[in-house]
Structure 1
């Protein structure tokens, strides 16, 4: 597996248990974010990129099923391990059908939790590895890492999905509406200028200072990710 520290989101309302999981994973080299209710867990999962999500079923504000559904509908395929204190197979079946990758019943052995997380990482990397390369930008759909001119850029989940869509359509002008539909969903009712905001974020994180932007503005239409612009090359935007 990669030498880059793996990021894990733990969504668990039992704060003592969440901290114990974070301590265990931290000792193994993982970087852990904790959230203690379903809504904040969902918001974090949508805004930041993680390698694994550990999600409790019974959560305040939104239960684990609801959070899992929203994550998958947003196009996020991060391996997801669901935890439950309930007995019976029905919850496990429903969770797996809704998009969870594995299920673990409480109480559990720490060694089992760690083994399940590592197994999810291995399975995900073997089964879905795909890289998109445009010019000097490399996007890995499994690790959700992006590098420009060999320098890794730390992107949020939403930023990653915007750049992924642009790179999949490299050298083609895509409209704001197309980007909104692909990343925010066809039922998005917010300000469409949010696309400009995220393109600005990406330019600051990916572009070489003083060089032409890799994301070209096509005035009155949208944006184009150019394969012709690499570090050391310039082109009029």
Structure 2
């Protein structure tokens, strides 16, 4: 069985050595880089299964590196490790394309569990495109097309649309959505998710057969008449 390759980006050498050794002892293949610029250069040439990024680094910070990586690969799981613990920092991390966010200091056991959860997404096959009513969702380019019009979507919008469509006619629990795409419901309230869903509904406004309904207190369901 091939090992899961982790691109670990951390400028604090002593911490990087401890974390990298611990991850390797757990069976991961770890590639360490010291800043976002080095990480981006490596990823464009070699790729990785999971990226673990510090935020505050020289030359290129983690937020910027994540945004650049998302331009070329919308699917690779990204986990931030950061001493920035304010709500706005965590929210910014997710907006920049993160799948998870761990605050420093952290326990290595927690990091391992979260990496394992992210790596399972790597092993699950994902279709490149979906025909949703009169629309086509391109998950490689993060584009939703209707007739000749194209809408550029965020990584999270693509993943949420895909999840709703793959489970169409069935309710997707709101708690599952929040934990899957925002990691910690402390920083992403149900009301914010409602606003997010409303934006997705507008993307499908040209096809009246597509409905995304809020099942109060439970979750959301996509139906296509």
Q: TM bucket by the smaller chain?
A: 0.5 to 0.7
How many equivalent residue pairs? 129
CA RMSD of aligned residues (A): 1.8
Pairing 1:46–2:44 present: yes
Q: Larger Cα Rg: Structure 1 or Structure 2? A: 1
Question: 1:66-97, CA deviations, whole angstroms, 9 ceiling, x for partnerless residues?
Answer: 10000001135211101110221111111111
For structure 2, the residue ranges without an aligned partner over 5 or more in a row are 129-139, 141-225
1:60 corresponding residue in structure 2 = 58
1:85 corresponding residue in structure 2 = 83
2:159 corresponding residue in structure 1 = none
Pairing 1:18–2:30 present: no
Question: How does the TM-score come out when normalised to structure 2?
Answer: 0.54
Q: Do the aligned residues in 1 keep the contact of 2:49 with 2:122 (CA within 8 Å)?
A: no
- In the TM superposition, residue 130 of structure 1 has moved relative to its aligned partner by 4.5
- In the TM superposition, residue 123 of structure 1 has moved relative to its aligned partner by 3.6
Q: Do the aligned residues in 1 keep the contact of 2:84 with 2:90 (CA within 8 Å)?
A: no
The DSSP-based 3-state class of the residue aligned with 1:61 is coil
2:180 corresponding residue in structure 1 = none
Pairing 1:35–2:27 present: no
CA distance in 1, matches of 2:118, 2:15: 21
The DSSP-based 3-state class of the residue aligned with 1:17 is helix
The DSSP-based 3-state class of the residue aligned with 1:33 is strand
Pairing 1:104–2:98 present: no
Which of 71, 74, 90 is matched with 2:69 structurally?
71
2:198 corresponding residue in structure 1 = none
The DSSP-based 3-state class of the residue aligned with 2:105 is coil
Q: Do the aligned residues in 1 keep the contact of 2:54 with 2:62 (CA within 8 Å)?
A: yes
For structure 1, the residue ranges without an aligned partner over 5 or more in a row are 132-160, 162-237
CA distance in 1, matches of 2:123, 2:4: 13
Question: How does the TM-score come out when normalised to structure 1?
Answer: 0.51
CA distance in 1, matches of 2:123, 2:2: 14
CA distance in 2, matches of 1:67, 1:113: 20
CA distance in 2, matches of 1:82, 1:48: 20
The DSSP-based 3-state class of the residue aligned with 2:27 is coil
> 1:109-188 to 2 correspondence within 5 Å?
109-126=107-124, 128-130=125-127
